[in-house]
Structure 1
Amino acid sequence: MTEPRKDASVEEDQTDAAKRRAEGEFVRGVSGFRQAIGDPDFPPEPGRYHLFVALNCPWCHRVTLARNVLGLGDALTMDVVFPNRTGEDDPEGPNLWQFNPTRPASLTGAPLPECTSETGTGRSHRLVRGIYRAEGSDEQSVPILYDKQAGRIVNNESAEILRMLNAAAGPLGSTLSDTDRPDLYPVQPGLRSEIEDLNDLIYTAINNGAYKAGFSSDQAAYSDAFKAYFIALDALEARLSDGRPFLTGPRFTEADLRLFPTLYRHDPVYYVRMKLNGARILDYPHLWHWLCRAHALPGVAGSGSLIHCRQGYFGRSWNGTVPLGPFRPMPYPEAYGHPELCD
């Protein structure tokens, strides 16, 4: 089995985690399934692997982005859970990811067309928890990378899944040629270390930092996360001010992919829900142009859903009412097609 890489860009430091949670800090747990495509038990083969995701989840969004930009949409099958979890009236209990393609969303009044039944295991599980229970695990999270042939979970750590998809895209059956397919983690002198440094900043201050701001119940923990988030945005805005199209230069890499899900959510969701109301991405000219540029790349726009995001973040919190805005200067995600909004 591949030894998991333990660093600040993959998982949060768990030191005194229970004490920190008790004091009101949000502390993200550690994923338990850490094997890899390419290990002896999991050879890279077209059609063998399956993803379980939630389109409102930014960690899943990383994986759906990688699946699409790498041309793996046909080779890597996928099921999508409903963005709200189970309620108190569910016989299995509350707060569980569920496959429920017929459940109407409160935001739209109708079922969400992207939601599916569970088709990856052959057992038609109603709850994600059932996939884990089949392997004796109490975990409940998505994303999950699943081996349909072996009937086993391969990995449930998004940072590792997107990297293994990049490394094995060709053998997995990408529809893009080697020359047309982006390399998200290219072998170039100094470039990988640059990507890793960016990953550390983006994960700690922005990806996980948004959750620390939104879900910490301690004012000081929230304040620290809020400040770190906007300091990091300032640093990335300055980095892009030299005219480079992407974070490391002319090519879209893993660092860009990992930043995208959080910034995609910031203006329409996180500004309110995560209490990150210091500024919009629309207030950062270079980051806004970067966001629009990334959104326009092949496969990116279809990798997420702001309807799922709004439903998932607001539909089960506070009083369950989903905000309808913003609609100025333009509704989202349509705004991402208009870089000139920040000119």
Structure 2
Amino acid sequence: MAVVGSAGLTTDDQTNAAERRAGGEFVRGVSSARSFIGSEEFPAESGRYHLYIAFNCPWCHRVALVRAVLGLEDAISMDVCFPGRTTSADERGENLWRFAPEGATGQNGRHVTFPECTADTVGGKKYIVDIYAESGLEQKSIPILYDKKSRKVVNNESAEIMRMFETVMLPYAKRPVELYPASLQEEVEEANTWLYTDINNGAYKAGFSSNQDVYETAFAAYFAALDRLNGLLEGKEFILGDAVTESDLRAFTTLWRHDPVYHNRMKLNQAFLFEYAQVWKWMGRMMALPGIESVVHEGILAHAKQGYFGRTGNGTIPIGPKGYPQCYGKARP
């Protein structure tokens, strides 16, 4: 089975990217490792492939979410990085993802540990850049889909990794839910496009741009997209009907972060999710998906807070709120 479709790739238009960044706009780069499971070099096999992620990163989180919902844990192993990247005090330099199962010093100066964090159980590396270097690549981003047999990086584009799990790896799933059904592929691609532009990456445009005009444009687009989503969910269980699809999982990892993280950190403070009645109900249905509880809980939210608020420069990590559904209680509409 071929891997098809890729709407909503985690990249921006690269036209005049350097100038736009200099002007304060957040411009996401391009993932460079773009091979696929199902090719001659990387055949579909259970137990052959491995994920490297960090739970604070929503692009990593959505890949882990698909793995959990489909029940692919036995087929695809996974290691988890520390949620805070290195500082200039690190021997290898700053802004690097690394493995620290024993914990590390957080931005608040305290030693912090996360039970979900692991060592590199495949190659014993400490830094993600060294996993790339082994494959002859000069990259440092995650997630990474890695081939344990050939010891090569296969892919580092989260949208494509999700799609591989949903298609060529689906025969190995314990819960083979059709997240990319043939009858809805066109609709999934269309939804993925605006969800990525206005919500997934839109949150970053608002939060990480230093240009007021860029921020205000992203802010308006984000909440217009939330209004659109709220309307789409009227009378439906999920975004495209009564069955969950890839588009729901893509939207979820951003919106799960909205109230406890993005409302403050990304300055997306026009409204909370509970003010969108249909989105709030949809969140409840998403939280009830079998398998999701292993990668969506208060401990994972702690990764997100450490990762995002650790980059604000003021050296503090907020204590609350707890996140959906505890942050506002179950009595909301």
Say if 1:287 and 1:333 are closer, same or farther in 2 by CA, change over 3 A: closer
- Equivalent in the alignment of 1:111: 113
1:260 pairs with 2:262: no
CA shift for structure 1 position 68? 0.7
CA shift for structure 1 position 71? 1.1
Q: Which runs of 5+ in 2 are unaligned?
A: none
1:342 pairs with 2:325: no
1:288 pairs with 2:290: no
CA–CA separation in structure 1 for the residues paired with 2:16 and 2:104 = 41
CA contact (8 A) 2:63 2:161 kept: yes
Q: CA RMSD in A?
A: 2.0
CA shift for structure 1 position 9? 4.6
The one-letter code of the counterpart of 2:83 is: P
CA–CA separation in structure 2 for the residues paired with 1:149 and 1:6 = 26
Q: Identical aligned pairs, as a percentage?
A: 50
Provide, for residues 33-54 of structure 1, a one-character-per-residue CA deviation record: whole Å limited to 9, x for no partner.
Answer: 1111001100111100000000
Provide, for residues 52-103 of structure 1, a one-character-per-residue CA deviation record: whole Å limited to 9, x for no partner.
Answer: 0000000001100110111101111100000001111101101100101111
* 1:50 match: secondary structure: strand
CA contact (8 A) 1:9 1:196 kept: no
Say if 1:143 and 1:194 are closer, same or farther in 2 by CA, change over 3 A: same
CA–CA separation in structure 2 for the residues paired with 1:337 and 1:225 = 26
CA shift for structure 1 position 226? 0.4
The one-letter code of the counterpart of 2:315 is: G
Given candidates 215, 226, 231, the residue that maps to 1:238 is 231
The one-letter code of the counterpart of 1:116 is: T
Given candidates 301, 315, 325, the residue that maps to 1:320 is 315
Provide, for residues 155-207 of structure 1, a one-character-per-residue CA deviation record: whole Å limited to 9, x for no partner.
Answer: 00000000011102344x3223xxxx21110011xx21111111011000000
CA contact (8 A) 1:143 1:157 kept: yes
- Equivalent in the alignment of 1:151: 151
Say if 1:234 and 1:170 are closer, same or farther in 2 by CA, change over 3 A: closer
Given candidates 240, 244, 247, the residue that maps to 2:239 is 247
Where does 1:1-343 land on structure 2 (aligned, <5 Å)?
7-104=7-104, 106=106, 110-120=112-122, 122=123, 124-171=124-171, 173-176=172-175, 181-188=176-183, 191-241=184-234, 243-304=235-296, 305-326=300-321, 331-335=322-326, 340-343=330-333
CA–CA separation in structure 2 for the residues paired with 1:133 and 1:5 = 29
CA contact (8 A) 2:258 2:273 kept: yes
Scaled by the length of structure 2, the TM-score of the pair is: 0.93
* 1:342 match: secondary structure: coil
CA–CA separation in structure 1 for the residues paired with 2:188 and 2:133 = 36
CA–CA separation in structure 2 for the residues paired with 1:156 and 1:33 = 5
The one-letter code of the counterpart of 2:255 is: L
CA contact (8 A) 1:292 1:336 kept: no
Say if 1:3 and 1:264 are closer, same or farther in 2 by CA, change over 3 A: closer
CA–CA separation in structure 1 for the residues paired with 2:114 and 2:181 = 37
Scaled by the length of structure 1, the TM-score of the pair is: 0.90
Aligned length: 327
CA–CA separation in structure 1 for the residues paired with 2:257 and 2:17 = 27
